[in-house]
Amino acid sequence: MRQRPLYSTSRSRSAAAPITPGASSGSNTSAPAADGAAVEQSHRNSKVPPSKASWLRNPPPVVTWLLLVAVLVLAAAAWRTGQPARKLTQADINAAVLKTLETTRLPSVASRAAQAIGPSVVMVSGFAPEKGQAEEQQNGVGSGVVITDTGVILTNLHVVQGSPTIRITFSDGTESTASVVNVQPQDDLAVLQAHRIPDDLKPATLRSTADLLPGDEVVAVGFPFGIGPSVSAGVVSGLKRSFRSPEGKQQMTNLIQFDAAANPGNSGGPLVTADGEVVGIVTAILNPTSARTFIGIGFAVPIENAASAAGMPPF
């Protein structure tokens, strides 16, 4: 069964309750002052430092899973001894979670993001005939991201421009030729259709940039210099940036600036959130020298622009 593009249902920060000036983050300004004293007393009773207690009240998904395992272990121990299980207290739960965190190595943000987007990242290679050569020669390599399980792929126009033959390598090693079905030159975007796709092709999840903020963690996955898939991590450095190509032929606007390492070959690959959801297509790096290597400033086209190039504006 064919799928349309997957769009994230993650809630925007704008949907969160506003914070009253002078109130601490996460506090309920309508609650009486006595509630704060009760929380502090609860912290002292449970012997959990306040900084950790706040984190325990809003654990990430991995910790929630570990907590469930800890509760099941305690229940199994009670069953083996034949004694009725006593009622678990908050202190028991806190202790179980902290013990699990001390003895279990959790995956990093970049690792989780890379695992989520990995099956949707492809290598895009362009080939063209060369004078005096019997076979076409590779004249460019870049990256791309699958947005539907029918094999629709987003990449940069400059990756495939001037290449009569385009070849795609999927994450499972499947290779296919591809055709350009649409271009959006002002955003340096090209939409490809693969001619052969894996049976279990997984499209990426696309996420609006409406709640993206400077400082948010992002991960770039692609094939720098044809090596990959390679993963680099950083943060959003700025929004609504402008960039002019080194040749001065094109001015691009409304770009996401980021500092995750990107080099030639990363072009066309996805820029994703910590959840592995695509917020942009890596398109350029700023380098005032002739080295064409990364010096800390990269740019990505927002996913809203990229999806519209495929005729599917998502947000």
Distance between the two ends of the chain, CA-based, in angstroms? 24
Q: Are 229 and 295 in contact (CB under 8 A)?
A: no
Catalytic-residue membership of 158: yes
195 is catalytic: no
**In the numeric block, which tokens belong to residue 315?**
């947000």
Helices 90-103, 61-81: crossing angle, 10 deg rounding: 110
CA 159 to chain centroid: 21
Give the phi and the psi of residue 81 in degrees, each rounded to 5: -80, -10
Query: CA triplet 296, 124, 112: central angle to 5 degrees?
Result: 55
Give the strand pairing for 298-302 and 251-258.
antiparallel
* Whether residue 172 lies in the annotated active site: no
Q: Is 292 left (phi over 0), alpha (psi -120 to 50) or beta?
A: left
Catalytic residue among 143, 158, 230, 232: 158
CA–CA gap between residue 97 and residue 235 (Å, rounded): 29
Q: Which of 188, 232, 237, 259 is catalytic?
A: 188
Report the DSSP beta bridge partners of residue 165: 127
User: Residues with catalytic annotation?
Assistant: 158, 188, 267
